[in-house]
Structure 1
Amino acid sequence: MNRPDPQDLKRAAQARLVGIVLAVTMLLWMGVQWLGGRLGWETRYVFLFDFAALAAFLWALVVTYQIWRGRRG
């Protein structure tokens, strides 16, 4: 049996990290939205969490693109 290429292992670790970040971000974002509604938080605080979630999703998109480009090249 052949050993996996180190680059493939690195890409797999990056893909796992992206999946974890996406799942945790979505759960936290939904939780904050629910909690903010229940506690009557000001809109600006909820938007702060929205922007943090968008930043995490953008990071995940960039890393996923890098993984995709790495597999093609």
Structure 2
Amino acid sequence: MTKAQPSKVDIQNARDSRLVAIVLVGTMAGWLGAQWIGGHFGWEARFVFLFDLAALAAFFWTMVVTYRIWRRNKSSSGNN
């Protein structure tokens, strides 16, 4: 018995989902590391705040991409 080949939409959804996961984990690790380093070296709050803004931007981006994945999956299944 042969396996059904995944569609192009399924492949794109898998790639985008993997990218979202990598960005989420990397952002969280980077943000935690920046907070620790900032506290350890006594950085001013304005410099550490830049890392907060970068993390928020990355989290917003992952939400947008996740929404696109959801919409693409919903439209490919025919449930508009």
Scaled to the shorter chain, the TM-score interval is over 0.9
AA aligned opposite 2:9: Q
Which of residues 50, 53, 62 in structure 1 aligns to 2:52? 50
Instruction: Give 1:33's aligned residue.
Output: 35
Q: Which blocks of at least 5 consecutive residues in structure 2 are unaligned?
A: 76-80
Instruction: Give 2:24's aligned residue.
Output: 22
% identity of equivalent residues? 55
Q: Which blocks of at least 5 consecutive residues in structure 1 are unaligned?
A: none
Secondary structure, aligned partner of 2:43: coil
Q: CA RMSD in A?
A: 0.5
Kindly provide the CA deviation profile for residues 46-73 of structure 1, in whole angstroms up to 9, marking residues without a partner as x: 0000000000000000000110111111
The aligned runs of 1:59-70 (5 Å cut-off) are: 59-70=61-72
Kindly provide the CA deviation profile for residues 17-36 of structure 1, in whole angstroms up to 9, marking residues without a partner as x: 00000000000000000000
Give the greater-gyration-radius structure (CA): 2
AA aligned opposite 2:52: D
TM-score (norm 1): 0.98
The number of residues matched between the two structures is 73
